[in-house]
Amino acid sequence: MDDSTLFARYTGINTSLIAHIVISSDNILESCSGSRIASLAVSMINSYLTVYGVPDKSLLTNDEFVLAGITIVITLVLYYFLMGKGHVKKRRRLAADLKIAQEKVHFLEDRLMLFQVNDEEKKGGDIRIFMDGAFDMMHYGHMNAFRLARSLGTHLIVGVNSDKSITQCKGPPLMNDDERLSMVKGCRFVDEALPECPYVMNAEYLDYIIKEHKIDYVIHGDDPCIVDGKDVYEAAKNAGKYQSIPRTEGVSTTDIVGRMLLMNKDHHYNSSSANKSLDGNTLLCEQSKFLTTSRMLRLFSAGMKSPKSGMKVIYIDGAWDMFHCGHIAILEAAKKRGDYLIVGIHGDAVVNRERGYNLPLMNLHERVLSVLGCKFVDDVLIDAPQLITPQMVQSLNINEIVHGSKEDDLADCTHEERYKYAKSAGIYVQLESPSKFSLANIISRIRQNQAKFEAKIARKKQAEDEFYKEKYNQVDTE
């Protein structure tokens, strides 16, 4: 292997390119040496050198001036190929490494506090965690917060802010006390729920909670919670009892209410730039920014086991869109009929075909996480078939198929064909729905106060955007 080949291998520069530059340099030198511009520049430089006593024999010639310029240009070009491109590649590698690191940061944050309380766990002590909130229109983001908080101790107590305190601090909630409390109680990550908690915890209330419920840590998301210029958790921080958990990104009550508000805008249905369903309606679920990973699904389904021999397996299916207290009630009633409850969740296309409008509000992955977070659910069937078949019943060992008596006000389909086999096999049961609450109730409340909600959503959206901008302003992936 000759020297030129070795040079090309280790520098990435083709030696023929260098030869071409050298030949070109000779041609440039010859053409530029006699140019008027070069002569004028050399004359000006020599006049200055003469003033400072440089002898005539050391003065600059046209050839030397042009050669120096060519040398500078060639040096810069070679530096770019040798060093500049390497820097660009290095920055790109660092940007890729940074992206991978960001994907791991949530896992590390999940475990950080666990290490902090590890000594107490080794002693066998009961680590009691407390977190509070309004949990208005509770979604899987709230459930994930409960999961994170619960993983840091052995017992999770959740305080649900009262309607009165929420109204005083940020306006009336969409859901009332009983509706929000039932949602928190129905979450599989919550051990105990406390009603009537104040929105702003003062030192006296915190002291009461810590003593009464033997609280070790007060938990909240890493986003700021400021009311009237005051940190809501200042008392907990001063007492050394506060810890934060990473916020579930890509979902918020603000985002979900925003999806419902869009249902009232005629131009939304006819947007030429939006993705369309088969019947021409825009599917709001496609706007979700939440990124569902297999790890998140595993975390939400942790502890779920297959039914044991002899267990009575119950099956119930549906859209489960915008998971609410009516869903919790019917799932609890279904679970009481057997030992093991499987919940079928229909795909987005099926739900949209049946219910039309801009439904489902939540996409399939979001609805799966919401149902997995319910304490009465033992397993879910993702993208469940619309028709119940003998093969499906046999495969899942289903003993009974149930359905609630109340149809969602937004559903206009018949279920005769869907449950035809179940009825003929004598395994179909229609349950009297314990709750009359439905998605239509939520949408109706929002429509009745649309102007107020639009203003509230705009304020919260701005606050969320500022939070994420501040959180990620040091990330440079260029």
Do 174 and 442 touch, CB atoms closer than 8 A? yes
191 within domain boundaries: yes
Nearest to 274 by CA among 358, 383, 362, 366: 358
Query: Which residues of the chain have a pLDDT value below 50?
Result: 6-8, 10-11, 113-114, 116-123, 264-286, 409-412, 474-478
Q: Please state, in angstroms and rounded to a whole number, the distance separating the CA atoms of residues 94 and 190.
A: 40
Query: Is residue 355 a part of any domain in this protein?
Result: yes
471 in any annotated domain = no
39 and 130 belong to one structural domain = no
Residue 73 falls inside a structural domain: yes
Indicate the helix (H) or strand (E) that contains 132: strand 128-133
Are 222 and 247 in contact by the 8 Å Cβ rule? The answer is yes
Q: Could you identify the residue written with the tokens 């052995």?
A: 154
156-184, pLDDT tens digit by residue? 999 999 999 999 888 888 899 999 999 99
Written as six digits, the tokens of 469 are 């901008």
137 and 92 part of one domain = no
Co-location of 222 and 298 in the same domain: no
Q: Name the residue among 189, 100, 203, 106 with its Cα closest to residue 142.
A: 189
Which DSSP string do the residues of 324-385 spell out, in sequence order?
Answer: -HHHHHHHHHHHTTSSEEEEEE--HHHHHHHH-TT--SS-HHHHHHHHHTBTT-SEEEET--
pLDDT at 198 (0 to 100): 92
Assess whether 87 and 189 both reside in one domain.
no
Distance CA 218, CA 209 (A): 10
Do 352 and 314 belong together in one domain? yes
Check whether residue 197 and residue 317 sit in a common domain: no
Q: Please name the residue that has the structure tokens 């960001």.
A: 102
- CA-to-CA distance for 316 and 343, rounded, in angstroms? 5
Instruction: Map tokens 């705009």 to a residue.
Output: 458
Q: Give the Cα separation of 379 and 382 in Å (integer).
A: 10
Domain at 403, CATH number: 3.40.50.620
Domain boundary among 97, 117, 144: 97
- Same domain? For 38 and 164 the reply is no
Distance between CA atoms of 248 and 106, rounded to whole angstroms? 9
Q: Which residue has the tokens 């369903």?
A: 277
Q: How far apart are CA 207 and CA 239, in angstroms?
A: 9
DSSP-assigned letter for residue 274: S
Helix extents (H) in 52-160: 62-79, 85-116, 118-122, 140-151
Is residue 297 included in any domain, yes or no?
yes
Question: Are residues 297 and 242 part of one domain?
Answer: no
Q: Are residues 243 and 353 in the same domain?
A: no
Shared domain for 218 and 313, answered yes or no, is no
Residue 306 shares a structural domain with residue 402: yes
User: Which one, of 132, 138, 382, lies nearest residue 256 by Cα?
Assistant: 138
Helix (H) / strand (E) element for 430: namely: strand 428-431
pLDDT at res. 204: 84
Does any domain span residue 280? no
Q: How many CB atoms lie within 10 A of CB 197?
A: 19
Could you give the residue ranges of the DSSP H alpha helices within 123-230? 140-151, 163-170, 177-185, 203-213
Token readout for 345 is 């969740």
CB atoms closer than 10 angstroms to residue 188: 20
Q: How far is CA 318 from the centre of its chain?
A: 25
At 259-272, the pLDDT tens digits run 777 664 332 233 33
Cβ atoms 442, 435 nearer than 8 A:
no
Q: State the Cα–Cα distance between residues 192 and 205, nearest whole angstrom.
A: 18
Where does 155-281 have alpha helices with state H? 163-170, 177-185, 203-213, 234-238, 253-262, 266-269
Q: What is the domain count for the chain? A: 3
Which residue, of 80, 97, 114, is where some domain finishes?
97
Predicted confidence at residue 94, as pLDDT, reads: 80
Residue 195 structural domain: 126-248
* Residue 110 forms part of a structural domain: no
Global pTM reads 0.67
Answer with the one of 97, 118, 135 that is the final residue of a domain: 97
CA gap 389, 386 in Å, rounded: 9
Q: Shortest CA distance to 180 belongs to which of 161, 156, 199?
A: 161
278 domain-assigned? no
Q: What's the pLDDT score for residue 316?
A: 97
User: What pLDDT is recorded for position 459?
Assistant: 66
Compute the distance between CA of residue 112 and CA of residue 117 in angstroms, rounded to an integer.
9
φ, ψ of residue 315 in degrees (nearest 5):
-125, 135
Q: What Cα–Cα distance (Å) separates residue 460 from each residue in 166, 233, 448, 451?
A: 15, 19, 20, 14
Same domain, 310 and 428: yes
CB under 8 Å to 3, separation ≥6 — which residues? none
DSSP 83: I
Consecutive H or E run containing 187: none
- Quote the pLDDT of residue 325: 95
Spatial CB neighbours of 467, under 8 Å, sequence gap ≥ 6: 223, 224
Residues 6+ apart with CB under 8 A from 6: none
